[in-house]
Amino acid sequence: MQLGKIPRVRLGEYPTPLAELQNFSRMFRGPRLFIKRDDLVGFALGGNKVRKLEYALAEALSQRTTVVITSGATQSNHVRLTIACANRLGLRTVAVLRGEKPDVPTGNLLLDRILGVAEIHWVNPKEYATREELVRATEERALELAEELRRRGENPYVIPNGCKPLHSALAYAGCVMEILEQMRAMNLAPDVIVTACGTAGTQTGLVLGSLLFAQGQIRVVGISVSGKAETLKERIRRNLEEALRFLGVNIAVPSQSIEVYDDYVGPGYAIPTPEMREAVEFLARTEGILLDPVYTGKAMAGLLDLLRRGAFKDAKNIVFLHTGGIPALFADTQAPVFYAQLPL
């Protein structure tokens, strides 16, 4: 199956910009560094979810959906962008958030309100021993709500947090095609793409794109923001194999094509680290580009460290994927890390 034949509703503005980080490249005197701006995808402050939602919502429309249900963390970028994209298609969104309802909504949660989320249901973290259990309970609550809505005559469509693995894979394989075209126009080709890795859907798609469109010659480096590298690698392999089967493509997935580092998570998901703060401030101050504290900040901390350790000695051109997440900079849980230690 050709990528272009899979149902997709186009919601973003493409191609998203690809720009060279000239000051950054000069400072490291090594490979040229580029940034792929999926934060500028043209939708409600952007991010990697838009490309994925284009496949998810095409499936929703084909099923005559009346309401979308999705879930995520209190400060979920995925939930914000699902509401925004569903709005464009005239669909309501019900959100299930893991967290305790704050008195004052900030960051993404504020935007969820402005975007007119139909309902928010809270799943209290205190009731679960581990993050995994909490995540599972949140997804189960979404499925229960779908049942309730079905009984009331609605036709709900449930989008898992981060979208279905197949939709993510197709979306980011498409992004690789876009990057290749943009670099080819400059007479260049990417040697490495670096991305934040959460559910690993984005990375799966980038590896798929490298295998499909670049003979596997683009090294895709994932920087975990929560999970263990081994768990994520297994997930990526499973999801890649599913995507290849779906496309009817018979290519082996070499184990070295799945590369994930979990050294930059710090104490846990969405918990700020000094290296994240350094990375966010570094890019802001050298290039005037803002990263987010939960995903791209930690991914950039990984890229900086790997560069310093000489991990990209053979690379000429490195692309850092900006997957969005900017509203989290303004979240009450994140903002203090940037001012608490600074004199006013």
Ligand X SMILES: Cc1ncc(COP(=O)(O)O)c(C=O)c1O
Calculate the dihedral angle through the C-alpha atoms of 244, 188, 280, 135, rounding to the nearest 10 degrees: 0
From the CB of 147, what's the least distance to ligand X, in Å?
Answer: 26
Q: Please, which residue, 12 or 47, has the CB nearer to ligand X?
A: 47
- Based on the shown chain and the rule CB under 6 A, indicate whether residue 160 belongs to the binding site for ligand X: no
Window 232-271: residues binding ligand X (CB under 6 A): none
Tell me how far apart the alpha carbons of residues 296 and 325 are, in angstroms, rounded to a whole number: 8
Count, residues in the chain: 344
Q: Binding residue for ligand X (CB under 6 A) from 56, 84, 176, 196?
A: 196
List the beta bridge partners of residue 289: none
Query: Which one, of 123, 149, 144, lies nearest residue 67 by Cα?
Result: 149
From the CB of 198, what's the least distance to ligand X, in Å?
Answer: 3
One symbol per residue from 22 to 61: x for binding ligand X (CB under 6 A), - otherwise; what is it? -------------------------xx-------------
C-beta nearest to ligand X: residue: 325
**67 contacts 94 by C-beta, under 8 angstroms:** yes
In the set 76, 224, 226, 257, the catalytic residue is: 76
Question: How many amino acids of this chain bind ligand X (CB under 6 A)?
Answer: 19
Distance (Å) of CA 203 to CA 4, 97, 161, 324, 330: 20, 24, 15, 15, 26
**78 contacts 49 by C-beta, under 8 angstroms:** yes
Torsion over CA: 233, 14, 288, 115 (sign): negative
**Residue 76 appears among annotated catalytic residues:** yes
Q: Binding residue for ligand X (CB under 6 A) from 261, 295, 312, 320?
A: 295
From the CB of 52, what's the least distance to ligand X, in Å?
Answer: 7
- Based on the shown chain and the rule CB under 6 A, indicate whether residue 224 belongs to the binding site for ligand X: no
One symbol per residue from 106 to 145: x for binding ligand X (CB under 6 A), - otherwise; what is it? ----------------------------------------
Tell me how far apart the alpha carbons of residues 128 and 100 are, in angstroms, rounded to a whole number: 13
Tell me how far apart the alpha carbons of residues 157 and 190 are, in angstroms, rounded to a whole number: 37
Window 303-332: residues binding ligand X (CB under 6 A): 323-325
- Based on the shown chain and the rule CB under 6 A, indicate whether residue 70 belongs to the binding site for ligand X: no
From the CB of 295, what's the least distance to ligand X, in Å?
Answer: 3
Window 202-221: residues binding ligand X (CB under 6 A): 202-203
Q: Binding residue for ligand X (CB under 6 A) from 201, 297, 302, 327?
A: 201
Q: Please, which residue, 156 or 325, has the CB nearer to ligand X?
A: 325
- Based on the shown chain and the rule CB under 6 A, indicate whether residue 272 belongs to the binding site for ligand X: no
From the CB of 152, what's the least distance to ligand X, in Å?
Answer: 30
**285 contacts 159 by C-beta, under 8 angstroms:** no
Tell me how far apart the alpha carbons of residues 107 and 123 are, in angstroms, rounded to a whole number: 19
SS3 content of the chain, % helix, strand, coil (to 5): 45, 15, 35
Which residues of the shown chain bind ligand X in the complex (CB under 6 A)? 47-48, 77-78, 162, 168, 196-203, 292, 295, 323-325
Active site residues: 76
